[in-house]
Amino acid sequence: MSKIAMTEEIPEREARAFDTDDGRTIFITQRDGAYYAYNNLCPHLQTELEFLENQFLDQDGEYIQCSTHGALFNVETGECISGPCLGENLEKINIKVHSDGGIYIEDSPR
């Protein structure tokens, strides 16, 4: 496991981008004290989701929103619920929150 962030870096109903050791950019968002992480790529055209730094959520902070075509994704599941990639999913990143407040990326099974 590799530490990617601390919980205090990600306010409720906001999201933050982080670069991983393997060169990917992921983002982590918080909803009701739970943390969700996804690869920063829209499944429609494989473009980054945000057009401004750390702007991954819609205006109300309710859904993840792709800035290219406005697709909306469920925060908890990553499923596209509106837009050109309806029914597709963001690539989920497995994370663990430790008691020290650190957020760690779980190693992928080999």
- Please check the confidence at residue 95 and state whether its pLDDT lies above 80: yes
Domain-located, residue 38: yes
In whole angstroms, what is the distance from residue 31 CA to residue 34 CA?
5
| pLDDT above 70 as % of the chain | 97
Strands 95-97 and 25-31: unpaired
Whether 110 maps to a domain, the answer reads: no
How many Cα atoms are found within 13 Å in the side-chain-facing hemisphere of 24?
A: 14
Q: What's the pLDDT score for residue 109?
A: 52
pTM reported for the whole predicted model = 0.93
Q: Determine, yes or no, domain membership for 57.
A: yes
What integer best gives the mean pLDDT of the chain? Answer: 95
Say how many domains are in the chain. Answer: 1
CATH number at residue 63: 2.102.10.10
